[in-house]
Structure 1
Amino acid sequence: MKQNIYDHPEFFQSYRTLRESEFNYNDLLEQPALRGVLPELKNKKVLDVGCGMGDFAKYCVKEQAREVVGVDISRNMIEAAQQRNSHERIHYVNMALEDFQLRQHEFDVVVSSLALHYIKDYDVAIKKINGSLKKMGVFVFSIEHPIVTARRNMDNWTVDKENNRSHFAVDHYQEEGERQQHWYIDGIVKYHRTFSTLVNELILNGFQVEQVIEPIPDSKAVKSLPKIINEMRRPSFMIIRAKKVW
């Protein structure tokens, strides 16, 4: 069964409150870095995998994308997207990527923000995305960094007697597979993959890796959210840009 945590009432409300806060990691760190490696979107057809509440889809329209298709497994997310970020050039689909029937060579750009670590079969998803892209199309995605997902319980910061973070522990790195985490609620399922798996599956499925980013906060982000300085000790996110070559 595919996980759909964003339709859990308690989780969704907590997550929505987080994203609507003035300062958060997505808006200060992940999104600026992801948008910074995008190709030009003008007149392009874009697939947004795990579109959430539609903020990125709306960004694409502002960048003059010809059409945007946003797909998300969560009905809550799609309803919020339709309320907050509707546009005549955006089409939202309430469906898991695994079930969504994509036409071959349909999109110029595919983007996924922090969604692929929820998908069990990464290789299948990459094949599907490759098939949906036109030749030389661009795929950009962000995920939780593999050092964050590595440890089995994903409880990685070690604190001292004064409750200060002394170091970030990495363990079980080569043991790929399911991880469960408490994040607002118990039982959040994510999938850990090594960096080599993330990259090699792209190469094996017709992509050329063009850029890998481990975002770090700028001074403005640190001033807005002081705790984000911990990104200098370990990265929360990884962003990969790849081009379809076959």
Structure 2
Amino acid sequence: MIKKLFLIVLFANISFSLIGKDSYFRGFYHGENIFVRNPYLGQDAGFCIEQIYLNGKLLVENPEISAFEIDMESLELDTRVVIRIVHQNDCQPELANPEVIEADLKFSWLKIYVDENQIIWITTKEAEEGFYIVEKQMDDDWMPLDTVKTKGGIFINQHSVELDHLKGDNLYRVQYHDPKLDVNYSESFNFYSDKEEISHAIDEDKWIIEFTQEVSYLLYNDNSRIIKRNKGVSCDISKLPKGQYMVKYDNKEVYFQKK
């Protein structure tokens, strides 16, 4: 029994000694293949590399060549790449051209789209200290709607801003501001809305502005100063002093007198 146990332990130790080391190389696919140097250790030991994996998939076992090309053409651009190389303990494989998978710090737009409620844009490699400005085309000019801070990092980020469309065509775009670069504009995105036109009525007994549906609005005093900014189906103006005001909503500007 003791002899059998000794043989099992000895076999386990031999098996463990045959397991090689793991080396990892990480980066991103930018359209070029990687070449791996495979050192030759002599006639008895053979070549260094035992296995090569790409993103968890085994590509080759015991390549008996001094350099091996890792074909990555099936990957999409900017896909994260993890190369795992299993090799003998007394050697170290190397990448012949590691620069081709180094992180590309260039900002890029991946996708931008608009639905009934919001605009959503997806980017990669945005600056940590940057920001976005969402714009809408109004009367042949681009008007800012909202500002969003960047999240930063080399990975994919998604941002969104709520929107109030007008009936008909609505054209939007997003500006990207990086402190170290020029302003970068997204492609414009048109969204056609078939919602009903919003109107209002003023109840002069209760002094409440009532809208036909929920809407974002701005209330100005007679000095053109914004005194109220909100979203809802009504606006309570009962506590405001008498005078002239203007309410702006759904691309409308309505002046009225509180008596």
Looking at secondary structure, tell me which structure has more strand per residue.
2
TM-score (ref. length: structure 2): 0.20
TM-score (ref. length: structure 1): 0.20
Looking at secondary structure, tell me which structure has more helix per residue.
1
Asked which structure has the greater CA Rg, the reply is 2
